[in-house]
Amino acid sequence: MVSGLRLAGVSRYFILTLKQVQGKNLDTGEDVRKALSELIDEPNIGVVVILEDYVEYVKDLVAHVRERRKVTPVIIEAPSKFGTKYKDVVGYYKTFIKASIGFEVEI
């Protein structure tokens, strides 16, 4: 995903990888929280794309940003390579867009 976004002109990104020690996965929650906090606090950031799998680590930050009702940053949850967690993807994004801009957009 990062390569495609870089081709589109995105210059600021974080690549978080699953850490393993002795064959066991370590929690990446702290890394996700640190990266998202840094992006939220930067005034030049307008859109943050985060994998749905990582949102579970920062639900409180995402909710806080969305409740502020500021224009930026917009946080978009992207499905991972394993698929989406939402059963009704179209319904989810319709609701998300309506909450973000105030009216419905046909998808």
pLDDT digits (tens, 9 = 90+) for 11-21: 777 777 666 55
Pick the CATH number of 2-101 from 1.25.40, 3.40.50, 3.30.460, 1.10.10: 3.40.50
Provide the CA 42 distance to its chain's centre, in angstroms: 15
Span 46-85, pLDDT tens digits: 888 888 888 888 999 998 888 887 777 888 888 877 888 8
- Residues of the chain with pLDDT > 70, as a percent, come to 86
pLDDT at 61: 92
Domain ranges of the chain: 2-101
Model-level pTM greater than 0.95?
Answer: no
Q: What is the DSSP string of 48-87?
A: EEEEHHHHTTSHHHHHHHHHHT-SSPEEEEE-BTTB-S-S
Angle at 63 between CA 88 and CA 61, to 5 degrees: 125
DSSP line for 24-57: EEPP-HHHHHHHHHHHHH-TT--EEEEEHHHHTT
